[in-house]
Amino acid sequence: MKNTFRSLSGFNYRVWACGALVSNVGTWMQRIAQGWLVLTQLTHNNATAMGIVMALQFGPHLLLLPLTGFAADHLDRRKLLIGTQAAMGALAFGLGILTISGLVQLWHVYAFAFLFGCVTAFDSPARHTFVSELVGEADLSNAVALNSTSFNAARMIGPAIAGTLIASVDSGWVFLINGASFVAVLSSLALLRVNELHVQERAFRTPGSLVDGFRYVWGRPDLRAICFMLFLIATFGLNFQIFISTMSVKVFHAGASQYGLLTSVMAIGTIAGALLAAGREKPRFALLVTGSAIFGLGCTLAAIAPNAWFFGIALVIIGVSALTLTNSTNSLMQLSTEPMMRGRVMAIRLAIALGCTPIGAPIVGLVADRFGPRWALGLGAASGFAAAIVGIRYLRTASESLTRAVPQAAPGHARARPGRS
């Protein structure tokens, strides 16, 4: 257990983790409130509108990809995070004021989702790579896993609080609380001991450096396979806001409280997956294959769930597998990448993990509207099984390449027998 939480022994990471946890709770509260606002107040259970909101919120990760990775590798990450976190807090306050005043319209939510996505596109690569400055290379994998634990602990707390607040007051107050929560992470960034940061050498600004990340990833078969697996599941599988909201409203005919509760139930699985990841010394590629296959199984069980309780159990399985997959891709890509390229490589990973939602979310939402939420979950299941196949093919190819690289014994010469001690 001590090994699982070893990164918390450092002052800087401990301060950062406390501020991030508070902010993450607020972020999850806003996600639930935003989904409920669109699905039940601004539309009549329109899953396609939900898909559009997600597309606008995560699309900038793709649109701004060269710039966001460049910024993470060339700028002071701490100062960049102070700017992005402050901007996200201001946007939450703006949407909250519009909602409480009764002036909010669907296009307002679309606009705020896009602006939030633009800021997050710069924030995410810097935030993920900033972890290595907090703990150093030795504890990087552990710190990444603990970050996931914090994010998913917030996923368990935030939605439940949001569901209660939505039912008792209004969605607008949830947005305001999220805006206030950014004070915590801004305070933690201000309190860091700058002289104790493990500051890495910044990349040089040279012609073509914006696209160097693409060349680097394309030249690495392992990174290409990871990105393709992540693309499949991120596009059609990581649409939990659509899955849970549509199953809650259309299939189980539940209210805001149960919607928030089901989202929190899923966090049980993600926290378990994060803690398991924190206990590992280093991630292995085989974990990606296992995680993908179990993700497909979990989505299949969720699609055929006869009631909300069975659906909740399936969500726990999905949570463990999704966290295993996303956390392993994060750690594998950071640990196997040169420090000067890390920001751009992580920007590509985040663009796939988050930016592919604009491709998949409207499709998943349309399927949920036309054929039902269960068929939408079927798409998620197919993406998990397809990703597992991609991973198996890579492992087989890598194994064959390694076998060919091993020198064979010359013909006519018997293999030497091991001598006795």
CA distance linking residue 378 with residue 364, whole number of Å: 10
CA distance linking residue 167 with residue 410, whole number of Å: 77
CA distances for 108 relative to 99, 105, 323, angstroms: 10, 5, 32
**94 close to 101: Cβ distance less than 8 angstroms:** no
**pLDDT mean by block of 10 residues, the chain; 421 residues:** 74 91 90 87 82 84 79 86 95 94 93 93 86 79 79 78 83 93 94 84 52 81 90 89 83 76 78 71 81 94 92 91 83 79 80 76 86 93 95 87 58 44 35
Instruction: Report domain extents, the chain.
Output: 9-195, 208-402
CA distance linking residue 18 with residue 21, whole number of Å: 5
What pLDDT, on a 0 to 100 scale, did the predictor assign at position 407?
53
Q: Are both 9-195 and 208-402 of the same fold?
A: yes
What pLDDT, on a 0 to 100 scale, did the predictor assign at position 410?
45
What pLDDT, on a 0 to 100 scale, did the predictor assign at position 198?
80
The DSSP code sequence of 246-267 is HIIIIIS---HHHHHHHHHHHH
CA distance linking residue 71 with residue 122, whole number of Å: 7
The DSSP code sequence of 87-125 is HHHHHHHHHHHHHHTT---HHHHHHHHHHHHHHHHHHHH
End-to-end CA distance of the chain: 40
CA distance linking residue 121 with residue 117, whole number of Å: 6
> What is the CB neighbour count within 10 angstroms for residue 395?
16
- Say what the alpha-carbon torsion angle 154, 155, 160, 162 is, to the nearest 10 degrees: 80
CA distance linking residue 75 with residue 78, whole number of Å: 9
What pLDDT, on a 0 to 100 scale, did the predictor assign at position 317?
92
- Which CATH fold would you assign to the domain 9-195? Growth Hormone; Chain: A; (1.20.1250)
What pLDDT, on a 0 to 100 scale, did the predictor assign at position 54?
81
The DSSP code sequence of 155-182 is HHHHHHHHHHHHHHS-HHHHHHHHHHHH
Give this prediction's pTM: 0.69
CATH code reported for the domain at 208-402: 1.20.1250.20
What pLDDT, on a 0 to 100 scale, did the predictor assign at position 92?
95
CA distance linking residue 262 with residue 240, whole number of Å: 11
